[in-house]
Amino acid sequence: MSNTRQDAGSPHPDPRTSPTPSPVTPTAPPAAPPTAPAHRVRTATASTDATTDAVPGATTGATTGVTSDVTTGATAGAADSAATGVVTGVVRHEPAAPTRAQTLAPGARIDAHRHDEHQIAYAGTGVVAVTTDAGTWFAPGTRAIWVPAGTVHAHRAYGRLDLHLVGLPADDNPLGPDVPTVLAVSPLLRELIRAYTAAPGDTGAERRRLRAVLRDQLRASPQQPLRLPAASDPRLASVCSLLDADPADPRTLADLGAATNTSARTLSRLFRAEFGMTFPQWRTQVRLYHALRMLADGAPVTAVAHRCGWSSPSAFIDVFRRAFGSTPGAHHRAP
C-alpha cells in the first residue's frame, strides 16, 4: 500500500472490545413471555435524574461516581458509525447537562441521550467522538466538541479517555451554533476546562469568575471543520462505507463510482450537495478520523500514515499539524 497517494485539499470539513455479555435471567415460574414491553427506568446521575425508555434486560455499564450510562463495546443501547452517523436504540433524557470529569476505557461508549442544556466535551487524553444522526465529530486534546441543547448524541472513547464535560444553560450560548461544532482549545481554555470540571459542586464566587472567563474563551475559540457527515443518498453512502472500511483505498472517484454503479459526476455533485465539501476534502477527513483512532491505540506514526493512505509520513505529519495544531508524534506522546 506504499504507492497510495495523498489527496489534494486542506482538511475541511468532519471497536474492538468484547461484546457486553447478556444478563442472565433466573428461571422461575411462570415463564416470562418472549417479548417484554418497554418501561420507564430512572437512573441517578451526578446532577439530576435521567428518564429512559428501556427494554427489560438491556445492560448499561457503569463508571465509579457518575452514571450507569457507560458501556464497553456495542450494546443494544446505542451504536455509531463513522460512515453513517447512525444513533440507534434507547435515548435517555437528562434535563441538566452534567459538569464532571471521568475516565473511560478504550472503546467505551456513553449511549444515546439528550440534554435540555448545552454541553462541551473535551478529551484530556485520548480521543472523543460525538455521533448524531447527522454524522460524527471527533477531537483530540487540542480540540473540544460543542453539543447544543436538545441534540440526541452518543460519546465514544478511543484510547484511554479522560473526558471533561461542561454543561451550560440553554439560554447561555456563547458560541451561537445550534449544531455540533469542533472548537480549537488554547492552553488557557484547556486549563479552564480542567479546573471547572474538577469541583462541579462548588458554587462560590471564585467558581463564578472562573466560569465567566471560560465563557469568554469559548466565544473566542475558532471553530474547526472536523466532522464526518452522514450520507442520506444510498449511492453516496456506499462510497463512504468503502473508504471508512479502508481509508488507504487509493481508488479515484471514477473507480469508486464504477464499483457502486454511479458516475463520478453524480458522486461529485452529491459530495458537494450533502457534505458541503469535495471528495478529496472528505477523504482527508475520514483519514484523519482513523489516524486519531490508531494513534490513541498506540500505533506508530509511520504505520498510521501507511494504513490511512498517505504517500509518506511527512505528508501525514503536514496534514495532521494543519488540522490539529500539533504533530502526530506530540499527540502520540500525550499523557
List per-residue pLDDT tens for the chain, 335 residues long. 434 444 434 444 443 334 444 444 444 444 444 433 333 323 333 333 344 433 222 333 333 334 446 665 543 333 344 545 555 567 889 899 999 999 999 999 999 999 999 999 999 999 999 999 999 999 998 899 999 999 999 999 999 999 999 999 998 887 777 889 999 999 999 999 999 999 888 888 999 999 999 999 998 998 887 889 999 999 999 999 999 999 999 999 999 999 999 999 999 999 999 999 999 999 999 999 999 999 999 999 999 999 999 999 999 999 999 998 889 987 755 55
Query: What CA–CA distance (Å, rounded) separates 312 from 304?
Result: 10
Cite the DSSP H helix spans in 77-203. 187-198
pLDDT at 202: 82
Which grid coordinates belong to 152? 440526541
Alpha carbon 188 to chain centroid distance? 23
Alpha helices by DSSP H, listed for 199-298, are: 205-220, 234-245, 253-259, 264-270, 279-296
How high is the pLDDT of residue 178? Answer: 80
pLDDT at 108: 95
Looking at residue 269, its pLDDT comes to 97
Predicted local confidence at residue 70, as pLDDT: 67
Query: Do 131 and 84 touch, CB atoms closer than 8 A?
Result: no
Sequence-ordered list of residues with C-beta below 8 angstroms from that of 189, at least 6 positions apart, any chain: 144, 214, 217, 218, 221
For residue 115, what is the enclosing H or E element?
strand 108-115
C-alpha to C-alpha distance for 137 and 202, rounded to whole angstroms: 30
Write the burial class of residue 206 (CB in 10 Å: 0-12 exposed, 13-18 middle, 19+ buried). Answer: exposed
Q: Three cell numbers at 31?
A: 415463564
Q: What domains does the chain contain, in order, with CATH numbers?
A: 42-227 (2.60.120.10), 231-332 (1.10.10.60)
